């Protein structure tokens, strides 16, 4: 379990990461609230924090989180809508040449918030799709 130290205005707050061996690269609402509480607990009593700033930051964070959730849902919906469609995919080989694969989308793998399409029994990221058409 790793502990990161965050220094804000001379105040240090500790955030515990519980993601195992993979380091956390983004904050969620829980992390934001823990940081806010730590900062409020450790603030200088002669120079208290402005709570309206926290409210504004929380509203912005909530909006960003909602947009992120909507984006992930859109990717999932788009991936599911491709089942049964004919696709052309681009795959870069180890020597740097482009390999073009054509096939029918057999399914979608929804793992870890990322949609991957299954063509000819192989998973491909949605970013490799070059063309989508009706199955022949």
What's the pLDDT tens digit per position in 82-124? 899 999 999 888 888 888 989 999 999 887 767 889 999 999 9
Average pLDDT over residues 124-132: 88
Residues of the chain with CATH 2.30.30: 79-133
Between CA 135 and CA 73 the distance in angstroms is 25
CATH level 2 (architecture), domain 79-133: Roll (2.30)
Q: Which residue has the higher pLDDT, 87 or 40?
A: 87
CA angle 128, 132, 136 (to 5 degrees): 130
135: pLDDT strictly greater than 50: yes
36: pLDDT strictly greater than 70: yes
Number of neighbouring beta carbons within 10 Å of residue 101: 15
The predicted-structure confidence for 49-90, as pLDDT tens digits, reads as follows: 677 777 888 888 888 888 988 888 888 888 888 899 999 999
Number of neighbouring beta carbons within 10 Å of residue 75: 15
Whether the full predicted model's pTM is greater than 0.75, yes or no, is: no
Number of neighbouring beta carbons within 10 Å of residue 128: 17
In this prediction, residue 24 has a pLDDT band, given cuts at 50, 70 and 90, of low
Determine phi and psi for 73, rounding to 5 degrees: -65, -40
Between CA 94 and CA 88 the distance in angstroms is 19
| Segment among 22-26, 37-41, 49-53, 70-74 with least mean pLDDT | 22-26
């Amino acid at each position: 379990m790793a502990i990161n130290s965050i220094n804000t205005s001379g105040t240090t707050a500790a955030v515990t990461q519980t993601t195992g061996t993979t380091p956390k690269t983004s904050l969620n609402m829980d992390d934001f609230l823990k940081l806010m509480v730590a900062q409020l607990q450790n603030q200088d009593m002669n120079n208290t924090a402005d709570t309206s700033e926290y409210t504004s930051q929380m509203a912005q964070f909530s909006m960003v989180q909602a947009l992120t959730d909507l984006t992930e849902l859109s990717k999932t919906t788009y991936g599911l809508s491709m089942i049964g469609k004919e696709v052309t995919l681009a795959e870069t080989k180890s020597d740097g040449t482009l390999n073009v694969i054509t096939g029918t989308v057999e399914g979608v793998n929804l793992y870890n918030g990322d949609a991957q399409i299954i063509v000819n029994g192989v998973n491909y990221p949605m970013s490799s799709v070059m063309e989508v058409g009706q199955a022949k």
